[in-house]
Structure formats: C-alpha cells, structure tokens
C-alpha cells in the first residue's frame, strides 16, 4: 500500500510536526509505504489553486502510483466546503482514498467504490468547519467593535517596533517564496499576508 501524508496549519506561528509524525507512525504500524510528505502553512479557507502545498500533492498523486492520502483531520484538507469536495473528487477520479485519522474513515473501499457514509460525513464536517470559522470571525469583529465603543484602541502600542529578525522569523514562508522568485502579489495570495508585510520582508532580505 503506497500512501502520501498531508499536513496543514493556518499560520506561521503554528507547527504541523505533530500531525506528520503521528500519521507517519500510523503508516509504519500498517506497513504502508510513505511516498511523500506534503505540508503547508496557509489558511484552509483559501481556494485550492492558491495553496502551493495542496497543489504539489495533487500533481504528485496524478503522476505517481498512490493508493491513499493520509490526513489528521478533514479541516487539514481545507475549511472551504466546495474546495474540499473538489479535492476529494480528484482523489476519487484517480482511485485514491482519503484517510481521515481522527475519525478513522476513508472515502473509498478496497474496490475503489465511494463510501456513501464517509461522503455524507465529509459534507457535514466541512460545512460545520466553515460555519465555525465564520462564527469566530464574527465574534472577533464584534469584540473589537465593542472595545472601540468603550474607548479602547486596537493595534500596537506607540513606539513598538519589531526587529528585522522577528519579522523574518514570523514570515518564514514569505521569505522562502520571495527567494524562489515569486512576485509580491503571488506571495500575498499564497501566504495571506498584506502587501506591506511582504514588501517589508523583501526589503530586509534584499539588504
């Protein structure tokens, strides 16, 4: 059985190591051969085409003999219901099952047939995940609005300034993509960073 591992976190301050290690351990336990490991730090709400790690994985499975894609939980594949279903459709078309570790479910059986129960669960889970993200965003905005109404100020304290080292440390993916020759606009899309942040990083690494 040949498999690939896919791990994702939303921000540069998070770490996907635990996801990858536990999936690697599970693959070893099942005597599955890990053909590749794909990891990315990007919002799961992004469109598939804007996610370099996911697209790299999809291109790999299309040109290599792979039986399964392993992920820790469905939200690692994405939080946008339509985009997640697009990914699963690609896997189905290539007779590749998606194994979701925390629920121990697979999208296909050994005969490459769609598992109706898992398909239903996936649609429900991705919809819930998308709703949760929207709810959190609304709560944060509401909290900020209320704080401002009470006279509070949002943002950095006057006089505070991050060092170049801090900026580079917090934007490792930006540094990596810029060094690979990606444009500022493309880096903004891939990393969900503002134009100001990307330009600042570019200025630092260019000096």
pLDDT tens-place string over residues 90-140: 999 999 999 999 989 999 998 999 888 777 777 776 676 666 666 666 776
Residue reference for tokens 């500022």: 184
Mean of the per-residue pLDDT values of the chain: 86
**Contact partners, residue 170, CB within 8 Å, separation at least 6:** 12, 13, 162
- Which pLDDT band holds residue 163 (cuts at 50, 70, 90)? confident
Q: What is the pLDDT of residue 153?
A: 65
pTM of the model: 0.62
pLDDT tens-place string over residues 149-162: 777 765 555 555 77
User: Domain segments of the chain: what residues?
Assistant: 2-126, 164-206
pLDDT tens-place string over residues 91-102: 999 999 999 999
Query: What homologous superfamily does CATH list for 2-126?
Result: Resolvase, N-terminal catalytic domain (3.40.50.1390)
- Mean pLDDT (whole number) for 190-201: 86
Q: What is the pLDDT of residue 136?
A: 62
């Amino acid at each position: 059985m040949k498999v690939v591992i896919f791990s994702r976190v939303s921000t540069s301050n998070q770490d996907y190591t635990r996801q990858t290690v536990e999936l690697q351990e599970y693959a070893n336990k099942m005597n599955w051969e890990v053909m590749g490991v794909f990891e990315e730090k990007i919002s799961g709400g992004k469109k598939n085409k804007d996610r370099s790690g996911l697209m790299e994985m999809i291109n790999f499975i299309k040109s290599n003999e792979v039986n399964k894609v392993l992920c820790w939980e469905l939200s690692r594949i994405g939080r946008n219901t339509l985009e997640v279903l697009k990914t699963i459709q690609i896997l189905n078309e290539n007779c590749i099952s998606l194994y979701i570790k925390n629920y121990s479910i697979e999208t296909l059986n050994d005969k490459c047939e769609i598992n109706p129960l898992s398909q239903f669960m996936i649609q429900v889970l991705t919809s819930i995940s998308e709703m949760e993200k929207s709810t959190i965003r609304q709560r944060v905005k509401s909290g900020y609005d209320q704080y401002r109404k009470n006279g509070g100020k949002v943002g950095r304290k006057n006089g505070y300034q991050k060092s170049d080292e801090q900026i580079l440390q917090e934007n490792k993916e930006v540094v990596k993509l810029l060094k690979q020759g990606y444009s500022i606009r493309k880096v903004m899309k891939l990393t969900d960073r503002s134009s100001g942040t990307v330009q600042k990083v570019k200025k630092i690494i260019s000096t």
